[in-house]
């Protein structure tokens, strides 16, 4: 949906997607143990196919921000949708994205 909005408004903006495509990490907190093996069926190929109409979309596999390349680390973000489900990952994303957020940029969270 976000990629479609970028295209519809001819924003020509890079659209980066990060996911493990392998479910949650094994190192979950005790109160997050119920998430183990959740979302393990996400398909990298399916996401790449869904975004194939946007030439400015890039799909990255791994745990964010650890999997972010040096190129990504040098970017400024105008919008970040953070949906990682576990507390430590939310904090890691905030620590990575916030200092790189453009003035007026927005961070949206699925989990609080």
Both tokens of 4, joined, read: 């479609």
Q: How far apart are CA 85 and CA 68, in angstroms?
A: 19
Non-local (6+) Cβ contacts of 77 within 8 A are: 97, 100, 101, 102, 105
Q: How far apart are CA 65 and CA 94, in angstroms?
A: 10
Q: What is the pLDDT of residues 8-67, one digit of tens each?
A: 767 777 889 898 887 666 565 565 555 555 555 678 898 899 888 888 889 999 888 988
How much is the pTM? 0.74
Domains in the chain, ordered, with CATH?
2-109 (3.40.50.150)
Q: What is the pLDDT of residues 74-111, one digit of tens each?
A: 999 999 999 887 788 889 999 999 999 999 999 999 87
Q: Which helix (H) or strand (E) holds 17?
A: strand 15-19
Residue 41 has a pLDDT of 64
Residue 112 has a pLDDT of 62
At residue 56's C-alpha, the angle toward residues 55 and 60, to 5°, is: 105
Lookup result for tokens 């007026």: 104
């Amino acid at each position: 949906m976000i990629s479609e909005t970028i295209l519809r408004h001819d924003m020509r903006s890079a659209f980066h997607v990060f996911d493990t495509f392998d479910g949650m990490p094994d190192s979950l907190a005790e109160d997050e143990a119920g998430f183990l093996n959740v979302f393990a069926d996400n398909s990298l190929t399916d996401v790449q196919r869904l975004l194939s109409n946007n030439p400015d979309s890039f799909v990255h596999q791994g745990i964010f921000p650890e999997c972010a390349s040096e190129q990504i680390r040098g970017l400024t973000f105008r919008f970040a949708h953070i949906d990682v489900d576990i507390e430590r990952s939310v904090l890691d994303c905030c620590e990575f994205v916030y200092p790189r957020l453009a003035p007026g940029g927005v961070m949206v969270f699925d989990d609080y």
